[in-house]
A and B are shown apart, each in its own frame.
Chain A
Amino acid sequence: MEDLLAARCQMGMSLAFHIIFACIGIAMPAMMVIADYCYLKTNNQIYQTLSKRWAKGTAIMFAIGAVSGTVLSFELGLLWPKFMDFSGSIIGLPFALEGFAFFTEAIFLGIYLYGRNKVSRSLHFASGVIVAISGALSAVFVVIANAWMNTPVGFRLVNGQLADIDPIAAMFNPNACVQVIHMLIASYASIGFAVAGIHAVMLLKQKDNLFHKAAFNIAMWLGLIMALAEPISGDFLAQAIAHNQPIKLAAMEGQFKTEKGAPLRILGIPDAKSKTTRFAIEIPYALSILAFHDPKAEIQGLESVPESDWPPVLYVHVFFQIMVMCGVTLSLVSLWALWLHFKYHTFTNNKWFLRAVVLTAPLGIIAVEAGWMVTELGRQPWVVYNVIRTAHAITPMKGLLTPFITFTLLYLFLAFIVTWLLYKQVIESPKDIE
């Protein structure tokens, strides 16, 4: 395997694992705090058990997220030193802020986990809230840095040298806000659905288990609210991409020709050789409407730039389709849930609904992974969009296949153990109330 490909694979693999750990690390403390709040309000022991369980889950994920995040911060230099050399001074700031958010999370998670008997109940609850907020803030800062790679601003290039660096302008880059919101909602939606799905399995076996009912309700509400909000934030993000990264949008949509009143292509297989997207269901004018809210708007096609500047069209388009399909399915299940709630005031009595939740449980996480593939592959061949090519950012170190394989094995091992522990510590029915 070529070194460039090995490095890209290693980075992609690390991110693919980290994004799951990070999503759980964002959403689980939120659920933990909600359960704790229910306990404070109702004094029902089940909620305390639940918040303790989710606290354990948070602790496991935080520790694993911490190590996998450390790996990433090192890998930026180990694999892409020239990228860091260029960007460090522009976009290092949000990483520093992320460091502090992470610190805060670590400190208050320590207090929350080990201080249950050492601080008052309200202080304990407040620590949980701080954990949930700082977990989300970490994500905000990291996604800001990624958004900058897609829409780099806050500097000028004078004869190949950096000038007028403005880290604040870089942080508030055009994609930052929309991308952050899209990612945060995605974390809550995906983990909400995943957790709800797991407890739905348990509820299908043990219909009246109060523990699983309580867990299902909290996770489902979180998942459904976020799953319904996600398409709206997705629309804003798509508009931002249409303005800032037209070629990425063209790849996502399989749009080869520049066209006024472009159709939206659902499914289909783009073929870079013949420059057509085949087998797609085309909805006339829909892409122009979605991207610019104008049926006549011109959509820039891939052919407007040299082929050497194209992202891998096939992958970007296919992953985008996967993400959208997953998202739409989750929204439909969410609407079903809302209907059940307003009609019967409960979701948990309908077996078919529970089965649907079980089936759709992994879709959120799949959508997150596919979405990141779209973001990152769609940015190619640039590491900093239209400024530095990925191929120019790589380390001169040879034999990068070895670290790629090593870290892949390491991550697989971690994922296996984490899954096992989460099952044992978080999901299994409690034998008695802990």
Chain B
Amino acid sequence: MPLELLAAFSILIALTFYVLMGGADYGGGVWDLFAFGTNKDKQRQLIAEAIGPIWEANHVWIILVIVILFTGFPKAFAAVSIACHIPLTLMLIGIVLRGSAFTFRTYDKQEDLRQRLWGRVFAIASLITPITLGIIVGAISTERIHRDYIVDFISPWLSPFTIAIGFMTLALFAFIAAVYLSVEAFEKNDYTLATIFKKRAIISQCFLALSAFTVFMLSKSAAIALWHKLANSHWTIPLQLVVAVLAIASIVFLLKNQYRLARLFAVAQVTLILWGWAFAQFPFLVRPEITIFNAGSSETTLMYLLIALGLGALILFPSFCYLYIIFKNNNQVN
């Protein structure tokens, strides 16, 4: 397999992890914002406990995406950075405020007003990043970012289509977070909370379906090449069927209180949505000119990059498993 392809694939893997883990943290922020009812404090506490030990690690995935992109495909990185200057900046502000507000909330005095203030900042910032991330994904899928010239700094990324992807990303993150949180609550034997997040998972699944449909319809005129691939490739009908089955399965298992199974299906569903987009985008990194094959770094660079990623993975995955085993099991040792 050509090295460029492997490097691009590793970007997809890192992005998948970012969506499944970092995305869920943003989703947690969304549910923090929409926490209501008599036990809203308990809901927020559950979210904080679920995010606490792992949020920093979850967010390194986006740094990895950036780094692989600028090492492996510097031209793509430069083109996106120029055309999407504004949404990238907004996304950054979201990342900064969200991460810092969450930390400040954890370490500031447990005084009600201040806690609520940090909570608000954390929750609102959690909305900005998914939406802008989606907008950027939309921007590189439409055919408006060129390699050597720029028309202006707004039109490459602002359109109903990109905004729809922004909201779809938000729905995706909220969905995956609600599913994870229902599992967490269930495993802590808090069935009321589990039911609450179960309902929210189902609601956000509906929003997700709705926004996905909107995106698909808008893509017909806004991202013709992408739409063409989504509509006409031989793999797309089976893929869409599988996603639909997984989506329904996750809801069914939630309703049957089989939370762990529901989570499995939700993870598979979200992954396939992301990969479906990636396959439709292939071989482009940034439509309409920059592809995996014409923007790749030299062979030597790609080889060393892949070696570094491989070695990194050897350290990373066992450490990650260890982290998850420690925190997702609730046994204590002295």
Contact = CB atoms under 8 A, between A and B. Distances in A.
A238 B9 CA distance: 43
Contact of B77 (A88, A104, A166): A88
Given A70-B62, A110-B54, A89 B326 contact: no
A107 to B, nearest CB: 5
Contacts of A59: 103, 107
Contacts of A408: none
A56 B312 CA distance: 27
Given A64-B103, A95-B70, A104-B319, A165 B78 contact: no
A165 B88 contact: no
B119 interface: no
B89 interface: yes
Given A81-B78, A100-B315, A165-B301, A421 B63 contact: no
B320 A92 contact: no
B301 A78 contact: no
Contact of A395 (B70, B82, B322): B82
Contacts of B96: 67-68, 70-71, 410, 414
Interface stretch (B172-180, B239-247, B278-286, B302-310): B302-310
A97 interface: yes
Interface stretch (A111-119, A298-306, A336-344, A368-376): A111-119
A86 to B, nearest CB: 7
Contact of A89 (B74, B153, B331): B74
A240 to B, nearest CB: 25
A34 B300 CA distance: 41
Nearest to A68: B96
A96 B100 contact: no
Given A88-B77, A99-B60, A117-B333, A397 B85 contact: yes
Interface centre among A89, A119, A162, A421, by most B CB within 10 Å?
A89
A397 B300 CA distance: 32
Contacts of B323: 107, 110-111
A69 B63 CA distance: 9
B78 A77 contact: yes
B255 interface: no
Contacts, number: 208
A74 interface: yes
B315 A104 contact: yes
Nearest to B150: A396
A93 B308 contact: yes
B74 A88 contact: yes
B298 A78 contact: no
Interface centre among B80, B109, B322, by most A CB within 10 Å?
B322
B68 interface: yes
Interface string B63-107: 110111011111101111110010011001101110110111001
Contact of B95 (A67, A77, A93, A417): A67
A102 interface: yes
Contact of B332 (A70, A81, A109, A118): A118
Interface centre among B71, B93, B311, B315, by most A CB within 10 Å?
B71
B56 interface: yes
Interface centre among B70, B72, B308, by most A CB within 10 Å?
B70
A113 B54 CA distance: 11
Interface centre among A85, A104, A162, by most B CB within 10 Å?
A85
B169 interface: no
B95 to A, nearest CB: 6
B182 interface: no
A99 B312 contact: yes
Contacts of A73: 63, 66-67
Interface string A221-259: 000000000000000000000000000000000000000
A406 interface: yes
Contacts of A104: 315-316, 319
B78 A96 contact: no
B59 interface: yes
Given A66-B56, A166-B300, A120 B333 contact: yes
A64 B100 contact: yes
Interface string B107-118: 111000000000
B301 A89 contact: yes
Nearest to A113: B53
A69 B77 CA distance: 17
B71 A92 contact: yes
Contact of A421 (B82, B99, B104, B297): B104
B16 to A, nearest CB: 16
B231 interface: no
B70 A165 contact: no
A166 B298 CA distance: 9
A90 B74 CA distance: 10
A60 B57 CA distance: 14
B327 interface: yes
Nearest to A64: B100
A70 B80 CA distance: 17
B189 interface: no
Contacts of A86: 74
A398 B85 CA distance: 10
A98 B331 CA distance: 33
B56 A106 contact: yes
Interface in B251-307: 297-298, 300-301, 304-305
13 contacts: A60-B103, A62-B56, A81-B82, A86-B74, A88-B77, A89-B71, A92-B305, A96-B309, A100-B312, A103-B57, A115-B53, A117-B334, A118-B333
Given A104-B315, A108-B319, A421-B104, 18 more contacts: A63-B103, A66-B59, A74-B66, A78-B88, A88-B297, A92-B301, A97-B308, A99-B64, A103-B60, A103-B312, A103-B316, A107-B320, A107-B322, A165-B300, A396-B82, A397-B85, A406-B93, A414-B100
User: Which 4 pairs across A and B sit closest by C-beta, in order of nearness?
Assistant: A92-B71, A88-B74, A77-B81, A89-B297
Interface of A: 56, 59-60, 62-64, 66-71, 73-74, 76-78, 81-82, 84-90, 92-93, 95-100, 102-104, 106-111, 113-115, 117-120, 162, 165-168, 395-398, 403, 406, 410, 414, 417, 421, 424-425
